[in-house]
Amino acid sequence: MISKEQERTEEKETGRLEAFSDGVFAVAITLLIFQIPIPHGGSLLKQLGGQWPFYTAYVVSFLTILIMWVNHHALFRLIHRTDHLFLILNGLLLMLITFVNYPTAVLAEYIEGSDGRIAAMLYSGTFIVIAVLYNLLWRYASGSHRLLSKRADPLLIATITRQYRFGPLFYVVTFLLAIINAPTSLAVNTLLALYWAFAGRAKSPKTEAGAR
Amino acid sequence: MISKEQERTEEKETGRLEAFSDGVFAVAITLLIFQIPIPHGGSLLKQLGGQWPFYTAYVVSFLTILIMWVNHHALFRLIHRTDHLFLILNGLLLMLITFVNYPTAVLAEYIEGSDGRIAAMLYSGTFIVIAVLYNLLWRYASGSHRLLSKRADPLLIATITRQYRFGPLFYVVTFLLAIINAPTSLAVNTLLALYWAFAGRAKSPKTEAGAR
Amino acid sequence: MISKEQERTEEKETGRLEAFSDGVFAVAITLLIFQIPIPHGGSLLKQLGGQWPFYTAYVVSFLTILIMWVNHHALFRLIHRTDHLFLILNGLLLMLITFVNYPTAVLAEYIEGSDGRIAAMLYSGTFIVIAVLYNLLWRYASGSHRLLSKRADPLLIATITRQYRFGPLFYVVTFLLAIINAPTSLAVNTLLALYWAFAGRAKSPKTEAGAR
Amino acid sequence: MISKEQERTEEKETGRLEAFSDGVFAVAITLLIFQIPIPHGGSLLKQLGGQWPFYTAYVVSFLTILIMWVNHHALFRLIHRTDHLFLILNGLLLMLITFVNYPTAVLAEYIEGSDGRIAAMLYSGTFIVIAVLYNLLWRYASGSHRLLSKRADPLLIATITRQYRFGPLFYVVTFLLAIINAPTSLAVNTLLALYWAFAGRAKSPKTEAGAR
């Protein structure tokens, strides 16, 4: 009886953490639009055309944060408890998610100049850190079943652990490409975002169903 | 029994997607105020008067996003499940909703100059894309009853499908008007927003009641 | 039975509208901080001292929006249904709430110059419109008990109607003061905000209890 | 019976206040990223290197607000009622939380110049005020058990009261350090944030469990 009540209290706590995280995701993803500067004077068509790096970076960052939000939710379907360290790890993840606004603007600003490669490295580097933080968060939560629901499917847990392990590698590739050529790195980041959005999780409804 | 539990889980998932979407809508609609620049120095009355395009664009964009939020809610009263592609389509819709901030500021900035028509085309063009995305989202959700509640009224579904089909046409009209004259296009967009806000859904309480 | 289910559906709808409104309130009140410009170079102490109008306007606007949020909640404790026009009236109210950011910055920018009185009139004028919109919203919701809970205390309804009627008058006074002297008008707005925050609703717990 | 219903109503009210507060926390913490200016032109690496005060201030402020959010939640696990004065005290706390954006940017802007100490005093001074407001809020809520849950553990209440009493002292120390040297003060603020994030509440899961 006490166990039931405590379980409910714990799920409520987790729900609040998720709601706060969703709030930060929602604000961070919406603020991206402010990274596109409003043109002033001059030929508008020419100005809009010259802003292609801002549009591209906006779309890629939006899709990437969107996919990260989807992943965050997928984790919280399995996580039913929180503790102090988990709150902090999740907070660090949110810090990096909101930070994405900064490299997005820097990349758009510098991609066409001689420092484009540094800007592209900063951009992909941010995504590497985020992917590593997702691994840390998940390892901490799933290690010896620390914060997971008792009903979490072991097969699904193993699948997530395996998928997450490879997450940072993709961004390491775009980081290495950035050392050679900035637009190519951004192009591959675009393809990655589109792939994950439209193809990468085609089987997720099934695995998601297995989460309960 | 299992079906009941799963149904509840699915509705909870849909509720979270809706809460996240509401968060993005709330931030996007509030950020519009930042598109009105704060005047510095000079005669204040004259400066305020010169900002009429910013006030107009602010009101029209606010009302338009507000109506889109009302529509989004109306859809989610019928939608009781989600899947990965639906999450992404909804995300694209949210991307365009937050994007509205940009053409709003561009229109206000350029409407009085020689590039006003291009700015007005950008503005109405954004609304066309949003209206098309609403159709895609709804078609995907309602097609072969994919994500709808079992209790969704078929008559209401047909009505929404029919209404949405005409949605983009209104903005095609203001887009075509923009090619001729920017202020006229903005004026018609204003009338459309006012009409939908104060008259267009006069019968909605009834049809809404039919949703359950 | 049907009546019970429908009642629950309606309360859920109202809950969502309130959550969306809370989101807009939360963003609008937080964005106020961006109206204080970050000083660059020069003597910092001198610059901070010169920014007193920004600090004052920030505090007054924050407290005023906070009190408006408290009032908004008080209304929604009595309102248990929504309809399309109510959604729009509430949306107009939210539009003006987010708009407060603009006159706040204009007032701080101009209060010390010769156009300070115009800026102060814009500031108090915005609050007049908001107070009138609260009356419209409440009159529409409470008129012939349109959207109220059946259990709403008639005495409390009458009290709110009476209090709201006088709301705009206070801001008419600060508006008239603005015609004469801007700092005086701001000072009275400050006193009003402090009074409502710390004294004005001393009896509210009791009347609130009567709401159920 | 009436008591049960009223209790539920009161908890719902408290839940709404908490959701609104979470919204303000989420927006305030996300907006911090806008305090890092986007570099324009020049050598990017050099510009990024020159922005170290902005990165440091960003991380410290983010962690500090994150910890304050954790504390806010811990309080609301014990608080089950609200009244008007509590709403206002909580609102003042939220005002200072959103205000953190301003001294963060001022500190980053001035830390390397001759006015760095004034900027660092403003920064630590803001945290002193926040820590004092937490004490006020808690004292008001817990005084003669005014707004607490009946089941709140007296031992836990006493522990919080004792811990909070010392909260402002830490920031008084960094404030005094700021009078002497700005970077040292920021460094100690960084250590404090890291300590509270990763060590300070190691025992909290236990005490938290005692809250119910």
SS (H, E, C) D185-204: HHHHHHHHHHHHHHHHCCCH
Hey, is B67 helix, strand or coil? Answer: helix
Q: Is the dihedral of CA C136, C142, C144, C147 positive or negative?
A: positive
Q: Is C122 on the interface with B (CB under 8 A)?
A: yes
Tell me the mean pLDDT in the region D6-19. 82
Mean pLDDT value across chain C: 88
Give the mutation candidate from A14, A29, A35, A51 for the B interface (greatest B CB count, under 10 A). Answer: A29
Residue found by looking up tokens 């937490």 in the block = D134
CA distance D180 to chain A (A): 31
Contact A90, A22 (CB under 8 A): no
pLDDT at A208: 40
**pLDDT greater than 60 at residue A33:** yes
pLDDT band at A110 (very low <50, low <70, confident <90, very high): very high
pLDDT at B65: 96
Q: Is D201 on the interface with A (CB under 8 A)?
A: yes
The neighbouring-strand residues paired with C79 are C148
pLDDT at A200: 58
DSSP label at residue D113: S
Tell me the mean pLDDT in the region A182-203. 85
Q: Is B118 on the interface with C (CB under 8 A)?
A: no
Which residues of chain D have a CB within 8 Å of the CB of C194? none
Residue A84's closest CA among D196, B84, B67? D196
Hey, is C148 helix, strand or coil? Answer: strand
Tell me the mean pLDDT in the region C171-188. 96
Specify burial of residue B8 (Cβ count, 10 A radius: 0-12, 13-18, 19+).
Answer: exposed
Q: Is D37 on the interface with A (CB under 8 A)?
A: no
pLDDT band at A43 (very low <50, low <70, confident <90, very high): very high
CA–CA separation, C45 and B188 (whole Å): 51
Tell me the mean pLDDT in the region A170-175. 96
Question: Which one of C23, C59, C197 has the shortest CB-CB distance to D23?
Answer: C23
CA distance A198 to chain D (A): 28
**Across the interface, do B99 and A205 touch by the CB < 8 Å criterion?**
no
pLDDT at D209: 37
Tell me the mean pLDDT in the region C163-191. 94
**pLDDT greater than 60 at residue D208:** no
**pLDDT greater than 80 at residue C110:** yes
**Across the interface, do B44 and C87 touch by the CB < 8 Å criterion?**
no
Q: Is B23 on the interface with A (CB under 8 A)?
A: yes
**pLDDT greater than 60 at residue C14:** yes
pLDDT at B59: 96
**pLDDT greater than 50 at residue D210:** no
Which residues of chain D have a CB within 8 Å of the CB of A28? 30, 33
pLDDT at C211: 36
Q: How far is CA B7 from CA B2, B137, C209, D16, in A?
A: 8, 21, 37, 27
Which residues of chain D have a CB within 8 Å of the CB of C36? 102
pLDDT at C74: 87
pLDDT at A3: 67
Lowest mean pLDDT among B1-15, B113-127, C153-167, C173-187: B1-15
CA–CA separation, D124 and D140 (whole Å): 24
Q: Is the dihedral of CA B148, B154, B156, B159 positive or negative?
A: positive
pLDDT in tens, chain B (212 residues): 456 777 777 777 888 899 999 999 999 999 999 999 999 988 999 999 999 999 999 999 999 999 999 999 889 889 989 999 999 999 999 999 999 999 999 999 999 999 999 999 999 999 999 999 999 999 999 988 888 888 888 888 998 898 888 889 999 999 999 999 999 999 999 999 999 888 755 444 433 433 33
- Chains touching chain D at 3 or more Cβ pairs under 8 angstroms? A, C
Q: pLDDT by residue (tens digit) across D25-79?
A: 999 999 999 999 999 988 999 999 999 999 999 999 999 999 999 999 889 889 9
Contact B53, B107 (CB under 8 A): yes
Contact A117, A184 (CB under 8 A): no
Hey, is A150 helix, strand or coil? Answer: coil
**Across the interface, do D110 and C44 touch by the CB < 8 Å criterion?**
yes
Token pair belonging to A36:
């596109």
**Across the interface, do C26 and D31 touch by the CB < 8 Å criterion?**
no
Compute chain D's Rg from CA coordinates.
Answer: 19
Lowest mean pLDDT among A7-21, B49-63, D18-32, D126-140: A7-21
Exposure of B62 in the CB half-sphere (CA atoms within 13 A): 26
Contact D155, D210 (CB under 8 A): yes
**pLDDT greater than 70 at residue C209:** no
Q: Give residue C72's Cα distance to chain centre.
A: 8
DSSP label at residue D33: G
Q: Is B108 on the interface with C (CB under 8 A)?
A: no
Tell me the mean pLDDT in the region A4-27. 85
- Chains touching chain C at 3 or more Cβ pairs under 8 angstroms? B, D
Q: Helix crossing, D2-31 with D52-76: angle to 10°?
A: 180
pLDDT at A204: 43
Give the mutation candidate from A11, A33, A60 for the B interface (greatest B CB count, under 10 A). Answer: A33
CA–CA separation, B19 and A15 (whole Å): 12
pLDDT at C200: 58
The CA-based angle A192-A195-A200, given to 5 degrees, is 115
Q: pLDDT by residue (tens digit) across A117-127?
A: 999 999 999 99
Residue B21's closest CA among A71, A23, A198? A23
pLDDT at C203: 44
pLDDT band at D200 (very low <50, low <70, confident <90, very high): low
CA–CA separation, C91 and C93 (whole Å): 5
Domain assignments of chain C as residue spans, ordered by start = 11-209
0.90 exceeded by pTM? yes
Percent of chain A with pLDDT over 70: 92
Give the mutation candidate from C33, C51, C94 for the D interface (greatest D CB count, under 10 A). Answer: C33
Highest averaged pLDDT of the listed ranges A142-151, B159-168, C75-84, D52-61 = D52-61
Compute chain C's Rg from CA coordinates.
Answer: 19
